[in-house]
C-alpha cells in the first residue's frame, strides 16, 4: 500500500515577525508511492536515478544483470523478477525496447501482472505500438490495475537531466496519479487522450525527426557537391532558422 509521510511548514516570516507566538506550523499528509522500475537501459537507468533523487522508494529490475549497481548504491533495491519488483510497489514504470518486450515484462512468466496488486498503476515509457498499448491497458484494467502510456523524447541528455518531453495517454485519474512520477523525470508533460494516445503522438514525433534527418542529409550532400566544407556549412546553418538538435 502507498505510504504516508508528514511534513511541517513554517508560516511566512514576512507576515509573522519572529517570536514564539509566530512559529506556527501546519502538518499535511503526503502520499508517497513506492515505485518499481523495469528496464535499466541508457534511458531507463537515468530516469530511475531521477526518481530516486526525487525521494521515491525504488525497486529495480533489468533483464541483463549488473545494470542496477549504481542505483542500489543510491538506495534503490534490486528484484529478481518483474513480478518481485511489482509486489513491493504501488506504481510500476517500464522502459524497454519494443512491443514484444513490454508484453513479456507485463504478462510473461514472473511478469509485472503476476506481482502488482489491484489498485496499482503501470506507466510505460517505452516507444511501442499504439494499438498494442490500448490492448495492454484493457488487460490490466481487467485485473484492477491502471495504465498510462508515457513515451519520452529528449535523448539520453534529457533523461539524465530530467528534462524529457513526455507524451501521455490514459484515463484522467490514472494520469493525475502518474503526474508526480512523470514530473520527476521530465519537463514537458502533455495528456492527449485515452491509452495509446501518447504512443500515437510519439509516432508523429518520429516521422518529424525522420524528415529532419533526411533534410539534413540532402543538404550536406548538396554542400559537398558544391565543394563546400560540410562542417563549416553546418556551423553556419546552426546560427539561423535551420538550427536543429539533429544538425
202 is catalytic: yes
C-alpha cell at position 84: 518481485
Per annotation, catalytic residue among 160, 187, 202, 243 = 202
pLDDT tens-digit profile of 129-174? 999 999 999 999 999 999 999 999 999 999 999 999 999 999 999 9
Ramachandran region, residue 55 (left: φ > 0; alpha: ψ -120 to 50; beta: rest): left
C-alpha cell at position 113: 501482472
185, 152 Cβ separation under 8 angstroms: yes
N- to C-terminal Cα distance for the chain?
48
pLDDT tens-digit profile of 21-62? 333 333 344 457 999 999 999 999 999 999 999 999 999 999
Ramachandran region, residue 179 (left: φ > 0; alpha: ψ -120 to 50; beta: rest): alpha
* pLDDT value of residue 160: 97
Give the bridge partners for 123, in sequence order.
93, 148
- How many of the other CB atoms lie within 10 Å of CB of 160? 17
162, 185 Cβ separation under 8 angstroms: yes
> Is the confidence at residue 3, as pLDDT, over 70?
no
pLDDT tens-digit profile of 180-211? 999 999 999 999 999 999 999 999 999 999 99
Task: Determine the Cα–Cα distance for residues 40 and 43; give it in Å rounded to an integer.
Answer: 7
Alpha helices in the chain (DSSP H): 42-53, 69-73, 82-87, 99-107, 112-115, 130-142, 155-161, 172-183, 197-225, 230-237
* pLDDT value of residue 146: 98
Task: Determine the Cα–Cα distance for residues 76 and 50; give it in Å rounded to an integer.
Answer: 11
Q: In the predicted model, what is the mean pLDDT of the chain?
A: 89
- The dihedral of CA 30, 88, 74, 49: what is its sign? negative
- 99/242: higher pLDDT: 99
3-state secondary structure of 7: strand
| % pLDDT > 70, the chain | 87
The residue with cell 535499466 is: 40
Amino acid at each position: 500500500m502507498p505510504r504516508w509521510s508528514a511534513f511541517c511548514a513554517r508560516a511566512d516570516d514576512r507576515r509573522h515577525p519572529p517570536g514564539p507566538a509566530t512559529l506556527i506550523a501546519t502538518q499535511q499528509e503526503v502520499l508517497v508511492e513506492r515505485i518499481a522500475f523495469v528496464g535499466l537501459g541508457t534511458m531507463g537507468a537515468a530516469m530511475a536515478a531521477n526518481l530516486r533523487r526525487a525521494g521515491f522508494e525504488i525497486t529495480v529490475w533489468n533483464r541483463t544483470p549488473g545494470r542496477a549497481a549504481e542505483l542500489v548504491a543510491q538506495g534503490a533495491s534490486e528484484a529478481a523478477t518483474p513480478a518481485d519488483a511489482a509486489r513491493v510497489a504501488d506504481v510500476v514504470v517500464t522502459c524497454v525496447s519494443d512491443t514484444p518486450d513490454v508484453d513479456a515484462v507485463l504478462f510473461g512468466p514472473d511478469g509485472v501482472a503476476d506481482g502488482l496488486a489491484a489498485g496499482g498503476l503501470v506507466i510505460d515509457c517505452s516507444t511501442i505500438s499504439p494499438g498494442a498499448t490500448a490492448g495492454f491497458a484493457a488487460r490490466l484494467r481487467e485485473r484492477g490495475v491502471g495504465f498510462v502510456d508515457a513515451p519520452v523524447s529528449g535523448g539520453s541528455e534529457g533523461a539524465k537531466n530530467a528534462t524529457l518531453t513526455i507524451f501521455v495517454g490514459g484515463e484522467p485519474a490514472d494520469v493525475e496519479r502518474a503526474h508526480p512520477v512523470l514530473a520527476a523525470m521530465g519537463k514537458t508533460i502533455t495528456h492527449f487522450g485515452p491509452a495509446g494516445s501518447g504512443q500515437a503522438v510519439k509516432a508523429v514525433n518520429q516521422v518529424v525527426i525522420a524528415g529532419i534527418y533526411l533534410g539534413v542529409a540532402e543538404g550536406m550532400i548538396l554542400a559537398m557537391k558544391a565543394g563546400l566544407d560540410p562542417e563549416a556549412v553546418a556551423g553556419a546553418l546552426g546560427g539561423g532558422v535551420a538550427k536543429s538538435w539533429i544538425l
